[in-house]
Chains A and B, each alone.
Chain A
Amino acid sequence: MIVVLPIAALVWASGKDGLHQFWSVATSPEALAALKLSLGAALFVSLVNAVFGTITAWVLVRDDFRGKSLVNAVIDLPFALPTIVAGLTLLALYGPQSPVGIDISLTRKAILLALLFVTLPFVVRTVQPVLLELDSEAEEAARALGAGEFRVFRSIVLPNILPGILSGVALAFARAVGEIGALVLIAGNRPFKTEVASVFVFLHIQGGDQAGASAVAVVMLAISFALLLLIGGLRFLATRHERA
Chain B
Amino acid sequence: MRKYALRSAALGYLLLVLLGPLTMVFVRAFDKGAGALWTTLTDPNTVHAFELTLIIAVIAVPLNTVFGVVCALAIVRRRFPGAGLVNAIVDLPLAISPVVVGLSLFLLYGRTGWFGPWFARHGTQILFAVPSMVIATVFVSLPFVAREVVPTLREIGDEQEQAARTLGASGWQTFWRITLPSIRWAIVYGVVLTTARCLGEYGAVAVVSGNIEGKTQTATLRVQDAYENFNQAGAYGISLVLAAMSVIVLVAMTLLRPEEEAA
- Which residues in A have some Cβ–Cβ distance to B below 8 Å? 2-7, 9-10, 12-13, 52, 55-56, 58-60, 63, 65, 69, 71-86, 88-94, 99, 113, 116-117, 120, 149, 171, 174, 177-181, 184-185, 197-199, 201-202, 205, 210, 213-214, 217, 220-221, 224-225, 227-228, 231-232
* Chain B interface category by residue count: 35 or more
Closest approach, in angstroms, between the C-beta of B251 and any C-beta of chain A?
8
B6 close to A58 (CB less than 8 A): yes
CB-defined A-B contacts under 8 Å, sample of 21: A4-B89, A9-B108, A56-B14, A73-B251, A80-B196, A80-B249, A81-B200, A81-B246, A82-B199, A82-B219, A84-B202, A89-B25, A90-B21, A92-B21, A180-B203, A181-B200, A181-B203, A185-B227, A198-B100, A205-B207, A231-B91
The CA of A24 and the CA of B206, in the complex, are separated in Å by 27
A-contact 0/1 string along B105-119, CB 8 Å cutoff: 111100001100000
B96 close to A178 (CB less than 8 A): yes
Which A residues are CB-close (under 8 A) to B173?
A: none
A117 close to B17 (CB less than 8 A): yes
Mark out the residues of chain B between 10 and 34 whose CB falls within 8 Å of any chain A CB in the assembled complex: 10-11, 13-14, 17-22, 24-25, 27-28
B10 close to A178 (CB less than 8 A): no
Q: Which of B24, B247, B254 has the most CB of A within 10 A?
A: B24
Closest approach, in angstroms, between the C-beta of A157 and any C-beta of chain B?
13
Which B residues are CB-close (under 8 A) to A7?
A: 92, 96, 104
Which B residues are CB-close (under 8 A) to A180?
A: 97-99, 202-203, 206
Contacts A117-B21, A205-B106, A228-B91; A82 near B200 (Cβ below 8 A)? yes
SS class, residues of chain A in contact with chain B: helix
Q: Which of A55, A75, A76, A202 contacts B206 (CB 8 A)?
A: A202
Closest approach, in angstroms, between the C-beta of B203 and any C-beta of chain A?
4
Closest approach, in angstroms, between the C-beta of B124 and any C-beta of chain A?
17
The CA of A5 and the CA of B105, in the complex, are separated in Å by 9
Which A residues are CB-close (under 8 A) to B106?
A: 205
The CA of A74 and the CA of B98, in the complex, are separated in Å by 24
Which B residues are CB-close (under 8 A) to A74?
A: 14, 18-19, 250
Which A residues are CB-close (under 8 A) to B19?
A: 74
Q: Which of B9, B97, B201 has the most CB of A within 10 A?
A: B97
